[in-house]
Amino acid sequence: MNKGNASEERTSDWEPELKVPPTTLWLPLGNDLPAKELGKRAAANILGGDAQKDRLEKFARVITDGTTDCRRRGVKLGGLLFYPDYNRLPPIANIDVFGYYSTDPERPTSLEFYRELYGTPTERSIGPIEVTDLQLPAGPAVRFHQRYWPKPSGDPIVHEWEEVRFAVVPPQIDAAVVLNVGWVEPQFSQALINMADAIAQTLEIKLLDA
Per-residue pLDDT of the chain (210 residues; tens, 9 = 90+): 343 444 444 457 899 999 999 999 999 998 989 999 999 999 999 998 788 999 999 999 999 999 999 999 999 999 999 999 998 899 999 999 999 887 777 778 889 999 999 999 999 999 999 999 999 999 999 999 999 988 776 665 668 999 999 999 999 998 999 999 999 999 999 999 999 999 999 999 999 875
Report the amino acid identity of residue 27: L
* Angle of the 35-47 helix axis to the 53-73 helix axis, nearest 10: 130
CATH code reported for the domain at 17-207: 3.40.1000
**Maximum Cα–Cα distance for the chain, whole Å?**
52
CA quadruple 168, 169, 172, 175: dihedral positive or negative? positive
CA quadruple 100, 105, 107, 108: dihedral positive or negative? positive
pTM (two decimals): 0.88
Contact (Cβ atoms closer than 8 angstroms) between residue 31 and residue 38: yes
* DSSP code at position 124: T
pLDDT of residue 101: 83
pLDDT of residue 198: 98
Contact (Cβ atoms closer than 8 angstroms) between residue 51 and residue 87: no
CA quadruple 147, 84, 70, 14: dihedral positive or negative? positive
- Residue 182, C-beta contacts closer than 8 angstroms, at least 6 positions apart: 1, 2, 93, 94, 96, 161, 162, 163, 164
Domain segments of the chain as ranges: 17-207
Contact (Cβ atoms closer than 8 angstroms) between residue 67 and residue 35: yes
